[in-house]
Amino acid sequence: HHAGRSTVWVGQPGAQVPIGPDTFTFLAGPCAVETAEQTLEAALMAKAAGATILRGGAYKPRTSPYAFQGLGVAGLEILADVRAATGLPIVTEVVDARDVPIVAEHADMLQIGTRNMANFGLLQAAGDAGKPVLLKRGMTATIEEWLMAAEYIAQRGNLDVVLCERGIRTFEPATRNTLDISAVPVVQATSHLPIIVDPSHAAGRKDLVVPLSRAAIAVGADGIIVDVHPEPEVALCDGPQALLGNDLRDLATAVRKLPPVV
């Protein structure tokens, strides 16, 4: 690959958002798409806080098979409607290689979650889909294993991969995962790919999202991806980590105070 770090462009022609070294990209939205109203409300909250890409899961990889699994295609349609209403490009997770074509038809960027980082058939299918890919770090993956997972996508001719550090399993139970902030400079020294941080899924607690976002900014991450929800207490997925109100305003202020990229 060429020398230097890459920028990945997300969105439809004429309205593309960069993720890379010359900017700091703020992605936000609900953990799961639950209803059209909830998704639109979350998107408007995200946009008002300065987010330029909307996240939201239509296919949810839940630990329990009895937990809400996502709305599937109906959720993708809601996301496409919310993109039309807000102008925000969409990133959404795909958990099964068979769903890659339908997800790619609706989304601007495909997300591969932590549980599927080493699902090589899914990585290859995502690599063939013709859309940028957000590749989260496996919760027990080394940085080298994560970069090799990215190679499975790149090998299909798709170099538009953004890495996402979302915390790893350690012995520490105070947070759901331990955010490995050192992964950011290590990856930037090793790979040309942009790297963003997900403080919401790392901590699993909303009170840590703003401090960890500040850490991501300080360490030089290329962006953050954060959960927001208009009513976290009734969220069908990961409510305790979702921001709204003052917390979201604090985050927006932290992002706005970013020093200019030189």
CA pair distance 174, 178, nearest whole angstrom: 9
Closer Cβ to ligand PEP, 157 or 195, answer by number: 195
Residue type, 138: G
Among 6, 114, 119, 213, which residue interacts with ligand PEP (rule: CB under 6 A)?
Answer: 114
**DSSP H/E element including 223:** strand 223-227
Is 160 one of the binding residues for ligand PEP (CB under 6 A)?
no
DSSP 26: E
Contact flags string 117-136 toward ligand PEP, x per CB under 6 A: -------------------x
Tokens standing for residue 135: 């590749």
* Interface with ligand PEP, residue 89, by CB under 6 A: no
List of residues 6+ apart from 218 with CB closer than 8 A: none
Query: According to CB under 6 A, which one of 30, 57, 127, 223 is a site residue for ligand PEP?
Result: 57
176 binds ligand PEP (CB under 6 A): no
Residue 66 contacts by C-beta under 8 Å, 6 or more apart in sequence? none
Query: Contact with ligand PEP (CB under 6 A): which of 83, 131, 166, 206?
Result: 166
- Give yes or no for residue 113 binding ligand PEP (CB under 6 A): yes
Q: Which is nearer to ligand PEP, 28 or 31 (CB)?
A: 31
201 binds ligand PEP (CB under 6 A): yes
Q: How many residues does the chain have?
A: 262
Regarding 30 and contact with ligand PEP (CB under 6 A), the answer is: no
Among 10, 27, 31, 104, binds ligand PEP (CB under 6 A): 31
In angstroms, what is the minimal distance from the CB of 92 to ligand PEP?
A: 9
Which residue of this chain has its Cβ atom nearest to ligand PEP in the complex? 113
Structure tokens, 72? 């599937």
Contacts within 8 Å (CB) and 24+ apart, 208-216: 208/175, 209/241, 209/243, 209/247, 209/251, 210/243, 210/247, 210/250, 210/251, 210/254, 212/179, 212/181, 213/251, 213/254, 213/255, 214/254, 215/179, 215/181, 216/181, 216/184
Nearest approach, Cβ of residue 232 and ligand PEP (Å): 15
194 counts as binding ligand PEP under rule CB under 6 A: no
Give the pair of three-digit tokens for residue 62.
């839940």
Q: Which residues contribute to the site for ligand PEP (CB under 6 A)?
A: 31, 57, 61, 93, 113-114, 136, 166, 198, 201
